[in-house]
């Protein structure tokens, strides 16, 4: 699974409803548009105590990080492994992410 700064986040759609319109916690299906075609993976956002965590899952591969920030309604997940970040917005319904 390769992340590049040039990847365009095409769409994110919910596998399960987020717990509210103000939270990103939940399981999400993600698809990035890349020069080689669509790159699908799953994103789990969860709380571990008071810390918000993100797990990016692609088959056997799993990347877990707490390097996350929230600015208003935008979630930013930083990846030092891939030298990039996913910038995600929760839509008004709380059922889909865009970015």
pLDDT digits (tens, 9 = 90+) for 49-93: 888 899 999 989 999 999 988 887 788 999 888 788 988 887 777
Q: What percent of the chain is modeled with pLDDT above 90?
A: 28
Report which of 69, 55, 67 is spatially closest to residue 26, judged by C-alpha positions.
55
Q: How far apart are the first and last CA of the chain?
A: 19
Predicted TM-score (pTM) of this structure:
0.69
CA 97/CA 58 separation, integer angstroms: 18
Q: Is 27 exposed, middle or buried (0-12, 13-18, 19+ CB in 10 A)?
A: middle
CA distances from 47 to 9, 32, 39, 54, 97 (A): 24, 24, 26, 9, 18
């Amino acid at each position: 699974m390769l992340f590049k700064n040039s990847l365009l986040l095409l769409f994110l759609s919910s596998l399960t409803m987020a717990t509210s319109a103000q939270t990103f916690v939940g399981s999400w299906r993600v698809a990035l548009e890349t020069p080689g075609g669509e790159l699908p993976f799953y994103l789990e956002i969860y709380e571990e105590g008071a810390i918000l965590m993100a797990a990016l899952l692609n088959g056997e591969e799993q990347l877990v990080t707490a390097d996350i920030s929230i600015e208003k309604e935008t979630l930013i997940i930083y990846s030092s492994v891939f030298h990039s970040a996913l910038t995600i917005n929760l839509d008004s319904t709380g059922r889909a992410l865009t970015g």
